[in-house]
Homo-oligomer: A and B are copies of this chain.
């Protein structure tokens, strides 16, 4: 896949994002309107380059280190694990500081013609940041001009590449703490909800009443099946959703990973939908190219609302 170039206009949280190894945006504008700058969070692909623009200058360059996931605003991780009104896209990015900071305004004549005509991060007229912009796609030519002014001479091997798994683990631990402290839940309920996080306990047992095998590989061996949530455990709004046997599928481990990361989903009638973001090479290596063309069997009405959530919030189309 072709490497792409991005430019982020950080809001107030530039330090949290750079130190934390990520970018975070809402999913839509406050009024619910779609924003290309937020949609771009899901377009960015591991290996893509990102310029970090904050306080009128570019001081960091980053490499996208995993695909975006649904996540609450990270500066709220510690205080509210279940405030899902604040849910957005979290994109893992490994940052490094540039040798020299670059003020785009001071080289505006050089870069104005290279700014994108649509969805530009800067106003070409005066070089001020576009207030609406967050993650904007830029050309390699523009990236190279900024790189050259910043004396950037290639990426260092980072000490740590932040991955989606790292963030999911952190988020789920916080949600779990919230559940453990919930005075409205009994100890038995807490135990069942926490076991459901790993696809265990009552959730897994009852899922076998609804599903009998992996819908893609046909695996029936319980030792090789993962009890996967359709609407992710971390995104559920209630104990009922976390324990609902209709909010689950039995999947082979590699199918579970693809489903969990939004590389495959299902239509209501049971067709498998493969994301254009999953390299065909990977699908072939996983031995799933043919089985993803087959029909997976129909779904029950109770499963369909969870599938609708998966298609709109997890799947990468």
Residues on B with beta carbons closer than 8 Å to the beta carbon of A204: 163
A202 interface residue (CB < 8 Å to B): yes
Asked if A19 is at the interface (CB within 8 A of a chain B CB), the reply is no
Instruction: Tell me whether B282 and A160 are in contact (CB under 8 A).
Output: no
In this complex, the member of A160, A222, A223 whose beta carbon has the largest number of chain B beta carbons within 10 angstroms is A223
What chain B residues lie within 8 Å of A219 (beta carbons)?
282, 285-286
27 pairs across A/B with beta carbons < 8 Å? A46-B222, A66-B222, A67-B223, A160-B201, A160-B202, A160-B205, A161-B222, A163-B222, A164-B223, A165-B199, A165-B200, A166-B200, A166-B201, A169-B198, A169-B200, A217-B285, A219-B282, A219-B285, A219-B286, A221-B279, A221-B282, A252-B285, A253-B253, A253-B257, A254-B254, A254-B286, A287-B287
Partner of A217, one of B166, B221, B258, B286: B286
At the interface, yes or no: A137 with Cβ under 8 Å from chain B? no
CA distance A254 to B195 in the complex (A): 21
Distance of A263 from chain B, by nearest CB (Å): 8
Residues of B within 8 A of A17 (CB): none
Binary contact readout A270-294 vs B (1 if CB under 8 angstroms, 0 otherwise):
0000000001001001111001000
Check: A190 CB closer than 8 A to any chain B CB: no
Q: Output the least CB separation between A280 and chain B (Å).
A: 12
B224 near A286 (CB under 8 angstroms)? yes
Is A113 at the interface (CB under 8 A from chain B)?
no
A279 contact set on B, CB distance < 8 A: 221
The B-contacting residues of A in range 34-83, CB under 8 angstroms, are 46, 65-67
The answer to whether A30 has its CB under 8 Å from any CB of chain B is no
CA gap between A46 and B258 in the complex, in Å: 27
Q: Which of A162-208 contact B (CB under 8 A)?
A: 163-166, 169, 195, 198-202, 204-205
**Please, which residues of chain B bring their CB within 8 A of the CB of A165?**
198-200
A261 within 8 A of B: yes
* Interface flag for A218 (CB, 8 Å): yes
Task: Evaluate contact between A286 and B252: CB separation under 8 angstroms.
Answer: yes
Smallest CB separation, A64 vs chain B (Å): 11
Q: How far is the CA of A200 from the CA of B92 in the complex (A)?
A: 14
Provide the bound-state CA to CA distance between A288 and B261, in Å.
22
Which residue of the partner chain, among B159, B223, B257, B287, contacts A261 with CB atoms under 8 Å? B223
Contact of A161 among B161, B166, B205, B252 (CB under 8 A): B205
Q: What 14 new A-B contacts, CB under 8 Å, besides A166-B200, A253-B254? A: A46-B221, A159-B205, A161-B222, A163-B223, A165-B200, A217-B286, A217-B287, A218-B285, A223-B261, A224-B257, A224-B286, A252-B254, A252-B285, A253-B256
A73-109: CB near B (< 8 Å → 1, else 0) gives 0000000000000000000000000000000000000
| B residues in contact with A195, CB < 8 Å | 166
A247 CA / B223 CA spacing, docked (Å): 24
